[in-house]
Chains A and B, each alone.
Chain A
Amino acid sequence: GENVEQHPSTLSVQEGDSAVIKCTYSDSASNYFPWYKQELGKGPQLIIDIRSNVGEKKDQRIAVTLNKTAKHFSLHITETQPEDSAVYFCAASNTGDYKLSFGAGTTVTVRA
């Protein structure tokens, strides 16, 4: 089955700086890569996703890049704000399976 590894496990940044989280996946058939943000006491919230036919996608301060050859994808958050503090999860799946395989999560803390 798919194995997704996520680094780092914790990340502390100064407000206004950028944050980068990296994930690698094992199954070359995976073609969908979402990122979720989970705040304390809440369920994961989909913040951005990318499909394998696209190399990069951006939505305001967040962006995701995908390198299919190396089987890794990354989340970039620019101009971080205190409300960006949360646990971020990457995931991977392949069409037809619809089973998301998640990374272990990254706890992001934005220092004011």
Chain B
Amino acid sequence: EAGVTQSPTHLIKTRGQQATLRCSPISGHTSVYWYQQALGLGLQFLLWYDEGEERNRGNFPPRFSGRQFPNYSSELNVNALELEDSALYLCASSWDRGSDTQYFGPGTRLTVL
């Protein structure tokens, strides 16, 4: 069974630009979660999507947004990039409408110059 996949692996942007990160959940999983792993800040919850809707949001500004498509894949968009947005962005998926048991993908390394 394929795990959670994310693309691209690496992304380099400049300050002020927009970044789009993509995630495909494990087959059969309907919930997608996004986390940010920044150096020195650990893993922080960003967003949870289920059945195409945003269900929960962490303490991040509105320029972090996303969506979930009918096939349950998801996009994370980060607008007006700032240097401190440089981090590993991890996507996780779970069964049903939200579940604590979350399985992570390999992440997208975003570097903002």
Contact = CB atoms under 8 A, between A and B. Distances in A.
Q: How large is the interface on A (under 10, 10 to 19, 20 to 34, 35 or more residues)?
A: 20 to 34
Contacts, number: 59
Contacts of A103: 42
Interface in B85-112: 90, 94, 98-107
Given A49-B101, A99-B56, A43 B90 contact: yes
A43 B42 contact: no
B45 interface: yes
B51 to A, nearest CB: 13
Q: Interface on chain B toward A: helix, strand, loop, or mixed SS? A: strand
Interface of B: 4, 31, 33, 35, 42-45, 48, 55-56, 58, 90, 94, 98-107
Interface of A: 32, 34, 36, 41-46, 49, 89, 91, 93, 95-105
